[in-house]
Chain A
Amino acid sequence: MPTSVITANLLTKEYKGFAAVDGISFDVAPGESFGLLGPNGAGKSTTMRMVGAVSTRTSGELSILGLDPNEHGPEVRSQLGVVPQSDNLDMELRVRDNLIVYGRYFGIPRSEVGKKADALLEFAQLSDRAKSKVDDLSGGMKRRLTIARALINDPRILLLDEPTTGLDPQARHILWDRLFRLKEQGTTLLLTTHYMDEAEQLCDRLVVVDKGSIMAEGSPASLIKKYSTREVLEVRFGSERNAQVAEQIAGIGERIEVLPDRLLIYSDNGEAELARITAAGLEPMTSLVRRSSLEDVFLRLTGRSLIE
């Protein structure tokens, strides 16, 4: 008996011969928070649409709660909450009405849907905006309303496609807090992001996706441990000199990445590597020692930065 709520096996989606998703496989356990991390165009949203039972796959197997979404689209979708990349709230309706009409799509009786809408507005910290026009809400508020809408049917799985893209830092933190509470209450989360801090904050486990394929899989900590060092020393010698200095300091640290604006020196002791560079008579314009992040994992795996 399968215990996963989502099982994808060699899942593929092709558009006119181009594979947007190219044979990816993953499982998501109940209550798990699972992330798809990758740059724009990696195939994350296409994967989400297939899992969301709105896009038929070209090949491979996909099971959501034990059902094939191609065969049982409405049944699968009755158990999902979906937060799309761009908000698709109804601008012609007021805030509370958006929740009510959406609740009706799941067959929630009129007598119940109003109470649910009020509770969700409170959860989304939007009770005082219940009668506002959607257009009058800020970006963060619209996002929270979209999340509230996605929860109207008590979903077993919440799909979040780039949930905080375009939001300011404060709005992102408020949203993370709400999502963290959902996670604590046992909702299965599947989210895509190209923000490594978001993935680290929210995901128990994630896959790094690039060009429609999975590059690595694991928890944020295990991926960092496997593909990076404990610390990273960032030094800048000016865009003209970075590549030249990289050759001079070859052998310092476990690995050096040359970026256009800086050098990344991977080591378990950044300060010690900085001392070695200074001892070699090189004075960086700026230096910074930081903890390794998923950005470094992605750089190691693909040779490219996440946000290009």
Chain B
Amino acid sequence: MSIGQRSGAAATPAFDASASATTPAEAKELAMVGGVKPRRYGSWYVAEHRIRSMRSYLQTIVATSIGNPLVYLFALGVGLASLIDTNLGPTGFNGISYLAFVAPALLCTAAVTVAAEESTYPMMMGFKWNPIFYGMNAAPITGNQIVNGMVISILARIIPTCAIYFVVMLLFGAVASPWGALGILVASLTGISVGLVIMSYTSRIEEDKGQMAMIMRFGITPMFLFSGTFFSLGQMPIYLQWIGWISPLWHGTELGRVLSYGASEPTWLTVLHIAYPLALCWFGWKATQRVVTRRLNK
């Protein structure tokens, strides 16, 4: 490329500057019209952008979506379950097989893992390492729409992940009731509730001091281990059971068990299993919107 190209004329204008010839009233009208679609669909545009970005790690997404349920269900459902069922009998674990017991928990865990992944680094990146949020906001997109778009894109990853997981569960014979299919929605709700709570924190992070690794180690992992995943919460000492009560994973898992094999529990508890993650979603969503809007308005 040489400076000599300065004298060359562009063959066709790449953009339409003739709009500059409009009157002030027309310019104002054009702006009002220009804001209509972004105001209405801005959240979806953000989601579209994020989903396009996910293509760069699509292979990993597909491999983990199929590989994870195979590995977990094989290890726990065939390996550990054969040991437990041999000792307790095929229906000796709360009246059902160990595989049927553990599968709804694994489904919810898969959703939580994806949500945690997508609500930590992508949030930090959007403000800091790959600051696309500022670019979106320079276009007609608002802070609230950025958050909504992120949530939609996370759901767009969680729901297929759960659907694939559920199909593998069916193949392993881990679902007793057709209602079990609703477990996909329950797991997705569980995942996004955790994701939104994490986002309300990661959206505040100005500098990476290992906070995200801490979330995984001291948030997600203990939740996975102590949410009635591998054994009933009641089998844990009472002083550890509170982890389950506040854990959306426990609520999602218990609801999944009700749907999957008709685990019995009081109605109020079933209602709580739905209301609690919804409340977390609301809190996390509003808090994240507030933080993101504030950070963008420098």
Interface positions of A (Cβ within 8 A of B): 1-3, 5, 30-31, 49, 52, 54-56, 65-67, 72-80, 82, 84, 86, 88-93, 97, 101-102, 104-107, 116, 119-120, 122-123, 125, 148-149, 151-156, 170, 173-174, 177, 181-182, 185-188
Contacts and interface: CB of A to CB of B under 8 A. Distances in A.
B49 A67 contact: no
B297 interface: yes
Contacts of A3: 24
B48 A101 contact: yes
A92 B132 CA distance: 10
19 contacts: A1-B25, A54-B138, A54-B297, A73-B142, A75-B34, A75-B35, A75-B140, A78-B140, A88-B135, A90-B135, A102-B135, A105-B45, A106-B37, A116-B14, A119-B12, A153-B139, A177-B6, A186-B20, A186-B21
Find the residue from B14, B45, B131, B141 having the highest chain A CB count within 10 A: B14
Interface residues of B, number: 52
Determine the main DSSP class of A at the interface with B: loop
Contacts, number: 172
B142 A67 contact: no
A15 to B, nearest CB: 9
A101 B136 CA distance: 10
Interface string B13-27: 111111111011101
Given A54-B296, A74-B38, A177-B5, A185 B17 contact: yes
A149 B138 CA distance: 11
A119 B15 CA distance: 8
Contact of A74 (B20, B42, B132): B42
Interface string B112-135: 000000000000000000111011
A84 B52 contact: no
Contact of A125 (B1, B35, B130, B297): B1
Given A177-B6, A186-B17, 16 more contacts: A2-B24, A5-B24, A66-B28, A73-B140, A73-B142, A74-B42, A74-B140, A77-B139, A88-B132, A89-B135, A101-B49, A105-B42, A106-B139, A119-B15, A123-B10, A154-B16
Interface string B87-115: 00000000000000000000000000000
Contact of B19 (A149, A151, A154): A154
A291 to B, nearest CB: 21
